[in-house]
């Protein structure tokens, strides 16, 4: 079976799964507001998990360029949206990425695209930060990369403890950022002030 036909089959299964899920609430799937909801929900879910079907090299698309700059490059406030792998509820926030080039730099838009590749999967924020950092390290061959993510989690806000203003910060440090406190502090001090809520 081809990849396209596999995806089409999975899509139909997802639609049926949403029909069963909605039906389990006792709702009438034939009422006007819900007739197309399983299809719409399946499309939304496919979009939110499209990172599973994306290739990092295709996303980067050779946008790595020679540069003599060896100082900190900081790309900040990259919005991201993901789904918690524990409850499949959204978490969202911003990512800040700093790296120390080693003869080449990455096109700026690619940082956002890399974040999206990994965010559009079932995730936990701690792993997401590490995956983004490792991908940038692999793609650029940089001397070090640091990632900080600040996010609000619907699984804490909509259910459970119901804490509306809680946020989570996760960090990932690779290369020189692991042992060079001066480089680490330069990155952390350059970050924008953390928001109380998103």
Question: Which position among 13, 16, 27, 85 bears the catalytic label?
Answer: 85
Contact between residue 180 and residue 140 where contact means Cβ atoms under 8 Å apart:
no
Question: Which position among 96, 123, 131, 153 bears the catalytic label?
Answer: 153
Contact between residue 173 and residue 144 where contact means Cβ atoms under 8 Å apart:
yes
Contact partners, residue 18, CB within 8 Å, separation at least 6:
37, 38, 41, 42, 45
| Tens of pLDDT, residue by residue, the chain (198 residues) | 566 666 677 889 999 999 999 999 999 999 999 999 999 999 999 999 999 999 999 999 999 999 999 999 999 999 999 999 999 999 999 999 999 999 999 999 999 999 999 999 999 999 999 999 999 999 999 999 999 999 999 999 999 998 899 999 999 999 999 999 999 999 999 998 765 444
> What is the predicted pLDDT for the residue at 75?
98
Question: Which position among 16, 86, 179, 195 bears the catalytic label?
Answer: 86
Active site residue 134: no
> What is the predicted pLDDT for the residue at 97?
98
Active site residue 142: no
DSSP classification of residue 26:
T
Alpha carbon 97 to chain centroid, angstroms: 13
Q: How many whole angstroms separate alpha carbon 120 and alpha carbon 108? A: 19
> What is the predicted pLDDT for the residue at 193?
79
Question: Which position among 87, 92, 104, 186 bears the catalytic label?
Answer: 87
What domains can be seen in the chain, in order of their start residue?
Answer: 3-48 (1.10.286), 58-190 (3.30.1130.10)
Active site residue 153: yes
Active site residue 86: yes
Q: How many whole angstroms separate alpha carbon 178 and alpha carbon 184? A: 8
> What is the predicted pLDDT for the residue at 198?
47
């Amino acid at each position: 079976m081809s990849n396209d036909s596999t995806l089409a089959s999975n899509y139909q299964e997802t639609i049926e799964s949403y029909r069963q899920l909605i039906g389990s609430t006792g709702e009438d799937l034939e009422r006007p507001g819900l007739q197309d909801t399983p299809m719409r929900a399946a499309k939304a879910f496919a979009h939110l998990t499209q990172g599973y079907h994306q290739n990092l090299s295709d996303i980067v698309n050779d946008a790595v360029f020679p540069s003599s700059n060896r100082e900190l490059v900081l790309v900040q406030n990259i919005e991201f949206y993901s789904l918690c792998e524990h409850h499949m509820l959204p978490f969202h926030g911003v990512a800040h990425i700093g790296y120390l080039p080693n003869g080449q730099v990455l096109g700026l838009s690619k940082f956002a695209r890399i974040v999206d590749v990994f965010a559009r999967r079932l995730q936990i924020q701690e792993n997401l930060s590490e995956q983004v950092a490792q991908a940038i390290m692999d793609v650029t061959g940089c001397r070090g990369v640091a990632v900080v993510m600040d996010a609000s989690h619907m699984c804490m806000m909509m259910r459970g403890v119901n804490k509306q203003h809680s946020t989570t910060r996760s960090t990932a440090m690779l290369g020189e950022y692991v042992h060079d406190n001066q480089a680490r502090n330069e990155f952390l001090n350059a970050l924008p002030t953390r928001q109380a809520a998103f």
